[in-house]
Amino acid sequence: MYSKRIDGRGFDELRKMEAKIGVVESADGSAMFKIGDTIAIAAVRGPRDLHPKFMQNPKRGTLRCNYNMMSFSVDERIRPGPSRRSREISLVTENALMPAVNLSDFPNAVVDVFVEIVQADAGTRCAGICAASLALADAGIPMRDMVCAVSVGKVGDKILVDLNKHEEDYEEGCSDMPVAMLPGRDEISLLQLDGKMKKEEIAEALELAKKSCEKILEVQRNALMEKYKNG
């Protein structure tokens, strides 16, 4: 039984969110997305010519994502450099963003998205996707929709949203399901499951993810509006 969340939140309650555009001046677009104690910064470079040339696609531009957790983002120092985990998350981030961007006007070019996790308390791939989507919009990359992402899951006997690290480590069992959505198109672009859930539980969790993505979208939208308000 998981009758009360460790941090006192409701089961459908997200941690406090914050988003900011234009946090990396040297990038073509950038954003910070914070949810609870998880902080992601995304920087976009491009479109620019893709090298080596044999990797170019003459029909459309290429989206390339790199996810990295900074060494000091968790208590136990992380070894710098790529890992199996960071390669997997880079790939799923790319796939989660791809349906939202339209790179048909940029043949042979690449748009690079660098996601840096500055501070981690679970849900980093989702925070990274939220930041990356904002950074792409900030860079002026043509987009069909925003991408919102959140982790839902089952802790003990409860379906809930936005698990923190304590919940992910819950002794009596935890299933973690990161979801990314294109809210305007009602499409899912990322769905992973670490653990076990019944079919009905997955449906309930997906419904919760959809409602939560609407709240995330509002935070993203406000951040973009803030940028244009300030010229």
Residues that bind ligand CDP (CB under 6 A): 74, 78, 85, 120-125, 151, 165, 168, 176, 178
Comparing CB distances to ligand CDP, the nearer of 166 and 221 is 166
Q: Which amino acid is at 160?
A: L
- Closest-by-Cβ residue to ligand CDP is 124
Provide, rounded to whole angstroms, the least separation between the CB of residue 186 and ligand CDP.
Answer: 23
Q: Tokens 């019944």: give the residue.
A: 198
Give the CB-side neighbour count of residue 102, counting CA atoms within 13 A.
Answer: 7
**Minimum CB separation from ligand CDP for residue 76, in Å?**
6
Closer residue to ligand CDP, CB minimum distance, 71 or 104: 71
Residue 80 phi/psi, 5-degree rounding, is: -65, 160
Strand partners, 174: 155
Q: Detail the DSSP E strand segments found in 55-170.
A: 62-69, 109-119, 148-155, 158-161
Residue closer to ligand CDP (CB basis): 151 or 220: 151
Question: Could you give the CA distance from residue 103 to residue 193 in angstroms, rounded to a whole number?
Answer: 29
- Of 30 and 38, the one with the shorter C-beta distance to ligand CDP is 38
